[in-house]
A and B are shown apart, each in its own frame.
Chain A
Amino acid sequence: SCDFYVSPARRSSGFRATTIMAVEFDGGVVIGADSRTTTGAYIANRVTDKLTPIHDRIFCCRSGSAADTQAIADAVSYQLGFHSIELDEPPLVQTAANLFKQMCYRYREELMAGIIVAGWDKRRGGQVYTVPMGGMLVRQPVSVGGSGSSYIYGFIDSKYKSGMTKEECLRFTADALALAMERDGSSGGVVRLAAITESGLERSVILGNQLPTFFSA
């Protein structure tokens, strides 16, 4: 992961430390996030939706400063919508990811935004691209982000296998997020999931008492 300096001024309002995740499968992607937005030690929004639609079959998962990521997502949605109308075709996920990268890299000193772009397009099917702080862009079959991600790298590395079905991916994502939320104080609330395929979009919510449980001392 990349280094970054967290300025104290940023913490005053709507700062989001988070756990976000996205997984590719044959025919689409599964994305997931927790739902906690904190300002300091107070939870400003316990039911946040961090899975933001950028286009009909393209979503982004937002972590970092709430203000920065909302502004970037709004700007990229506009640019992508315009581009799609010019093309008269649904846009590529790679295009969306590059738009995010261009903005995050150009303004890297001013922004605090870690974004995962995921979706489905006709050319390459389900794709996950990660744009962490600093503005790098790389495609990965599975990607995690946010402060809670540190706690689940081991789980991801050991449990991920290629060729999972949509249901297996949903279960895998829910488990990973539940584990991260258990250990990371800045993540919590409910688990929001979305599965994006050619035929459309399925969103679901797993409430606190329905989360998968694991060993706890």
Chain B
Amino acid sequence: PDRRPAEQSHPEPMRNTLLEANVAKLGCSLPPARKTGTTICGVVYKDGVVLGADTRATEGMVVADKNCSKIHYISPNIYCCGAGTAADTEMTTQLISSNLELHSLSTNRLPRVATANRMLKQMLFRYQGYIGAALVLGGVDCNGPHLYSIYPHGSTDKLPYVTMGSGSLAAMAVFEDRFKPNMEEEEAKQLVRDAIAAGIFNDLGSGSNIDLCVITKGKVDYLRPHDEANKKGVRTGDYKYKHGTTGVLTKQVTTLQLEVMDESVQTMDTS
């Protein structure tokens, strides 16, 4: 049993409150966290799972990255989509991926999705929601295909289809209409593609392309991009004036006199 008094049981949030309190003294404002206003989703089908994500990263109302990758590698058989604060999803998935690889070497087995879920939820709960990572975790292990949704406070749900992010309601509407258990691969891919498309076209926080990740026993298809739903248009006109538009009357070329003042070579110490 934990004998520490209750105040010290969650040290990490204390640091954040201290930082926020001292911002006024520092004289600057904390940078706004870059969020992936996002649509991510996943579906369990006959042979495995299909994960999908859009590719827009926003900083407030400006698109910071038009083609960011939101489907993160966890292990050869497990991938994780991330919504929420971009840095948090990136670092959290990388940390658990690293720990899971060490665990896998220790057990001498392919990692299980339930293990990744446990590690993620226990870490997020420890940080009491201050790590803004909302994840869709999917993979195939010795017990079959599995799909989890993981919330920033550390609760998880194990379901046949999940959506997360600002576009989750749009994507869930598509799933609730067309999901069936034990779909074929093409049907599942089309369903996920359409769900992400619903998020892209109906949610301002989501946009650009659709990435897919199809995980089956022994194989992973990382399809980036699967669908370039928002290709940049080709301009019809050209504003450059060609040579000869303005007639040349006279031409005078003057070379600049440059003297070499000093030449030296410094070798790097590579010993």
Binding site for B on A (CB under 8 A): 9-10, 12-14, 37, 39, 42, 44-45, 47-48, 65-68, 70-71, 74, 102, 106-107, 109-110
Contacting A at CB under 8 A, from B117-134, are 118, 121-122, 124-125, 128-129, 134
Task: Decide: B129 and A9 in contact? CB cutoff 8 A.
Answer: yes
> Is the C-beta of B156 less than 8 angstroms from some C-beta in chain A?
yes
Task: Decide: A65 and B9 in contact? CB cutoff 8 A.
Answer: no
In the complex, what residue of chain B is closest to A72 when comparing beta carbons?
B125
Task: Decide: A71 and B6 in contact? CB cutoff 8 A.
Answer: no
Contacting A at CB under 8 A, from B138-154, are 149, 151-154
- A107 and B151 CA atoms in complex are apart in Å by 21
- Of A12, A37, A44, the most chain B CB neighbours within 10 A belong to A44
Shortest CB–CB separation between residue B151 and chain A, in angstroms? 4
Task: Decide: A70 and B6 in contact? CB cutoff 8 A.
Answer: no
- Contact for A47 among B149, B153, B159, CB less than 8 A: B159
- Contact for B125 among A42, A45, A71, A106, CB less than 8 A: A71
Task: Decide: A70 and B154 in contact? CB cutoff 8 A.
Answer: yes
Q: Mark B98-132, 1 if CB is under 8 A from A, else 0.
A: 00000000000000000000100110110011000
Interface of A is mostly: mixed
Task: Decide: B159 and A66 in contact? CB cutoff 8 A.
Answer: no
Task: Decide: A107 and B6 in contact? CB cutoff 8 A.
Answer: yes
Q: List 10 A-B contacts (CB under 8 A).
A: A12-B129, A13-B134, A37-B155, A39-B151, A44-B157, A45-B149, A47-B159, A71-B125, A107-B6, A110-B10
Shortest CB–CB separation between residue B33 and chain A, in angstroms? 15
**Contact A102-B151, Cβ < 8 Å, known A48-B157, A107-B6:** no
**Contact A70-B155, Cβ < 8 Å, known A13-B134, A107-B9, A110-B9:** yes
Residues in B whose Cβ lies below 8 Å from that of A44: 149, 151, 157
> Is the C-beta of B1 less than 8 angstroms from some C-beta in chain A?
yes
Residues in B whose Cβ lies below 8 Å from that of A42: 169
In the complex, what residue of chain A is closest to B1 when comparing beta carbons?
A102
- A68 and B155 CA atoms in complex are apart in Å by 8
Task: Decide: B6 and A14 in contact? CB cutoff 8 A.
Answer: no
Contacting A at CB under 8 A, from B152-190, are 152-157, 159, 169
Shortest CB–CB separation between residue A117 and chain B, in angstroms? 18
Residues in A whose Cβ lies below 8 Å from that of B118: 74
- A9 and B16 CA atoms in complex are apart in Å by 15
Residues in A whose Cβ lies below 8 Å from that of B152: 12-13
- A70 and B118 CA atoms in complex are apart in Å by 11
Residues in B whose Cβ lies below 8 Å from that of A110: 6, 9-10, 128
Contacting A at CB under 8 A, from B6-30, are 6, 9-10
Shortest CB–CB separation between residue B113 and chain A, in angstroms? 16
- A109 and B9 CA atoms in complex are apart in Å by 12
In the complex, what residue of chain B is closest to A102 when comparing beta carbons?
B1
- A94 and B9 CA atoms in complex are apart in Å by 26
Task: Decide: B159 and A13 in contact? CB cutoff 8 A.
Answer: no
In the complex, what residue of chain B is closest to A69 when comparing beta carbons?
B155
Residues in B whose Cβ lies below 8 Å from that of A70: 121, 154-156
Residues in A whose Cβ lies below 8 Å from that of B153: 10, 12-14, 65-68
Task: Decide: B157 and A71 in contact? CB cutoff 8 A.
Answer: no
Query: A10-B153, A66-B151, A74-B122 are known contacts; what are 18 more A-B pairs with Cβ within 8 Å?
Result: A9-B129, A12-B152, A13-B129, A13-B134, A13-B152, A13-B153, A37-B155, A39-B151, A44-B151, A44-B157, A45-B159, A66-B153, A67-B124, A67-B151, A67-B154, A67-B155, A70-B154, A71-B122
Residues in A whose Cβ lies below 8 Å from that of B9: 107, 110
- A210 and B198 CA atoms in complex are apart in Å by 33
Shortest CB–CB separation between residue A70 and chain B, in angstroms? 5
**Contact A71-B154, Cβ < 8 Å, known A12-B129, A13-B134:** yes
- Of B6, B152, B153, the most chain A CB neighbours within 10 A belong to B153
- Of B118, B155, B156, the most chain A CB neighbours within 10 A belong to B155
Residues in B whose Cβ lies below 8 Å from that of A12: 129, 152-153
In the complex, what residue of chain B is closest to A13 when comparing beta carbons?
B151
- A170 and B134 CA atoms in complex are apart in Å by 37
Residues in B whose Cβ lies below 8 Å from that of A107: 6, 9
In the complex, what residue of chain B is closest to A39 when comparing beta carbons?
B151
- A39 and B154 CA atoms in complex are apart in Å by 13
In the complex, what residue of chain B is closest to A111 when comparing beta carbons?
B6
